[in-house]
Amino acid sequence: MTAPQATSHAADAGATESDLPLLRSERIWSFRRFSGMNVTLAIATWAFLQGGAVALYVGAKGAIASIVIGYGIAVLLVALAPCVPTAKYGVEMYTGLRSVFGVVGAKVVMIVMTVLVMAAWTALLAIMVGHALANVMDEIVDSSFATSGVAISVAALLAVVLAWVLLVGGPQRVGKVGNIAAPVMVVITLGMLVLIFDRASWSEIASAAPLYPMEDQHLAFMLSIELNVAGGLAWYPMIGNLARLTDTPRASFWPNAFGLFAASSVAAVVGVFAALALGSDDPTVWMIPLGGAVLGVAVLAFIAFANLTSMVAEAYSGISAITGASDRLRKIAWPVLSALFLVPVVVICLFPESVYNNYGRFLSWVAIVVAPMCGVQVVDYFVLRRARLSLRDLYLPPQQSAYGFWAGWNWVAFVAVGLGALTYVALLHPVNYEPNSGFQYVGASIPALVVAGVVHWLGTLLVVRRTGRGGYATERSR
């Protein structure tokens, strides 16, 4: 194979769609464009769903405080890791995680995160499209599709097919769709705010009780904070591969403050107001009472379309990760790989209420894994490696790479994540969502993140570095 053919291969495959490290000249997202993409992601209907869930526990003022605090903490963390390292080195996020979990271990992490977490998020969005379309049909033809699981599944599957069509176009097409959807979603969110305050005054909304009020208001507030920290951390599996496409370090960091933090907070707060004013936590049932039949149907239809943008971005990020798992996967054509990624999404869409009606628990399951991972990566990259990676070693086989650790696995990082997960479970039961002693002071995600980070730091100093593994000594001396 000649060098020109090699270059042609990369161009044909699209470096942005493989796990090859991106050059500066290939970064397609400036500060402004990544901000736009970030806002688009943030003002999807999942922010409204988040607001609806928060309104279960606290009233308007507590909701605003808990959303801003919870999202603020979580988004700052995910803006640091994975965004900063993926943007600096242009590496696919899970390829970068080889420096943390080992060359082989990172592939297992990638498969778990991609297949379970990212597919579940994509499915959640598709199911929301299904709910939105079912409500539209009910209004137009006076049917009762919104209460039919089969109808919602069919509409969700239609959304999955449309997402696949958009995915085949690659990340540039995602950006084009985002350019259309983002400004309209901003208008819709602000329009909802106007319509809500047309129905109720601030004092009425501020005095409205939560949908399921708890006797212990402090505990309710902490549950709300936890819900929002988990909601913010849930961006971890996907945002790194989007930040990878940015062209400056600041472009990878600050747009998260505008989108994932500020825009998400505004949309979630609007969701809280709507839920409190209308007495329902389901965003797809708010629009018609708020806007009337014609406007409500139009908004629901547009929200279904806008959700497609988020589905495509989520799926794109997951598929980018999959291509890094093996040479065999890398050779699969992009359209086929996209279709394969969507298979678990299709399966989840067949059981629409399992995710949609258990949003808080779903977030809890995501946070159990993601919070410790985020803590481990922040400590590994910023504290132990002082923001220095060996790019070449990320791509070497375990026996040659500084990131080989023990046959390709860094057990210390896995133990740290495991102990972090146990900390979470000890503080908040992930199945029944019952808090245990201590939760009322510290929540669950942040302690899980801190425990994992500290265990990884100590384990690396006491075990990994002493045995000369992981390339830590080399990177510190650079």
**Could you list the residues that contact other proteins (CB under 8 A)?**
1, 3, 5-7, 9-10, 15, 18, 20-21, 23-25, 58-59, 61-66, 68-69, 72-73, 76, 79-80, 84, 87-90, 217-218, 220-221, 247-250, 252-254, 257, 327-328, 330-331, 387, 391-392, 395
Least CB distance from residue 63 to other proteins, whole Å?
8
**Nearest-CA neighbor of 132 among 54, 206, 185, 203?**
185
Nearer CB in complex with other proteins: 171/291: 171
Nearer CB in complex with other proteins: 21/296: 21
C-alpha span between 4 and 21 (Å, rounded) = 18
Least CB distance from residue 429 to other proteins, whole Å?
23
Least CB distance from residue 84 to other proteins, whole Å?
5
Least CB distance from residue 391 to other proteins, whole Å?
6
C-alpha span between 270 and 454 (Å, rounded) = 37
Nearer CB in complex with other proteins: 25/437: 25
Least CB distance from residue 69 to other proteins, whole Å?
5
C-alpha span between 465 and 477 (Å, rounded) = 13
Least CB distance from residue 303 to other proteins, whole Å?
28
Token pair recorded at residue 138 = 């009910």
Least CB distance from residue 240 to other proteins, whole Å?
14
Give the single-character DSSP code of 210.
P
Give me the DSSP letters along 397-408: -TTTSGGGTBTT
CB neighbours of 101 closer than 8 A, spacing ≥ 6? 108, 109, 409, 410, 413, 414
Nearer CB in complex with other proteins: 334/365: 334
Q: Which residue has the tokens 């825009």?
A: 263
Nearer CB in complex with other proteins: 68/275: 68
Least CB distance from residue 64 to other proteins, whole Å?
6
Nearer CB in complex with other proteins: 9/466: 9
Measured from the Cβ of residue 28, the count of other Cβ atoms closer than 10 Å reads 14
Burial class of residue 46 (count of CB atoms within 10 Å of its CB; 0-12, 13-18, 19+): buried
Least CB distance from residue 48 to other proteins, whole Å?
20
Nearer CB in complex with other proteins: 5/201: 5
Nearer CB in complex with other proteins: 137/389: 389
Least CB distance from residue 79 to other proteins, whole Å?
8
How many CA atoms are closer than 13 Å to the CA of 325, on its beta-carbon side?
Answer: 19
Nearer CB in complex with other proteins: 252/364: 252
**Nearest-CA neighbor of 440 among 281, 215, 269?**
215
> Is residue 393 within 8 Å of residue 93, measured between CB atoms?
no
Measured from the Cβ of residue 197, the count of other Cβ atoms closer than 10 Å reads 14
Nearer CB in complex with other proteins: 93/220: 220
> Is residue 159 within 8 Å of residue 310, measured between CB atoms?
no
Residues facing residue 246 across a β-bridge: 29
Give me the DSSP letters along 282-330: -GGGTHHHHHHHHHHHHHHHHHHHHHHHHHHHHHHHHHHHHTTS-HHHH
Measured from the Cβ of residue 11, the count of other Cβ atoms closer than 10 Å reads 9
**Nearest-CA neighbor of 54 among 272, 215, 365?**
272
Segments in 102-207 forming alpha helices (H): 105-111, 119-141, 149-168, 171-199, 202-207
Phi-psi region of 429 (alpha: psi -120 to 50; beta: other; left: phi over 0): beta
Residues facing residue 406 across a β-bridge: 409
Nearer CB in complex with other proteins: 135/390: 390
Least CB distance from residue 173 to other proteins, whole Å?
23
- Cis status of the peptide bond prior to 82, with omega within 30 of 0: yes
